[in-house]
Amino acid sequence: MSATATASAATDLTEKQERILRYLRENAETRTYFKSRLIAEDLGLTAKEVGANMRAILNGDFEITVEKWGYSSGTTWKVSV
C-alpha cells in the first residue's frame, strides 16, 4: 500500500480511532495481544470506547492486521504487522 493510500484511509477515522491505531502501531513490534481495558487505560478511554472504535480499524486497510481473539475477562485483540 502506498503512503498516500495509507494517509487517505487514516483520514476516514475519528480522533479516537486514530489514537487507537497509532497506539497499536507503536506497540505491535513488541506485543501481539492487547486487552481493550489496557488500551483504554493507556489512552484515557473506556474499554467500551475501545471496542466500539476498533471496528473501523478491523474493517480498514492499514499496514497492521487486527483480529478479535478472546473474550475472557474482557476482549483481547491479536495484532500483527
Query: Treating both helix axes as pointing N-terminal to C-terminal, what angle do 47-59 and 36-43 enclose, rounded to 10 degrees?
Result: 110
- State the number of CA atoms in the 13 A half-sphere of 51 facing the CB: 13
- Residue in the block written with cell 507503536: 26
Tens digit of each residue's pLDDT (9 = 90 or more) over 69-81: 887 778 999 999 8
The class level of CATH for 3-80 reads mainly alpha
Grid coordinates standing for 6?
495509507
Q: What is the pTM of this model?
A: 0.81
Tens digit of each residue's pLDDT (9 = 90 or more) over 57-67: 998 888 899 99
Which SS3 state, helix, strand or coil, does residue 28 take? coil
Strand-pairing partners, residue 65, are 80
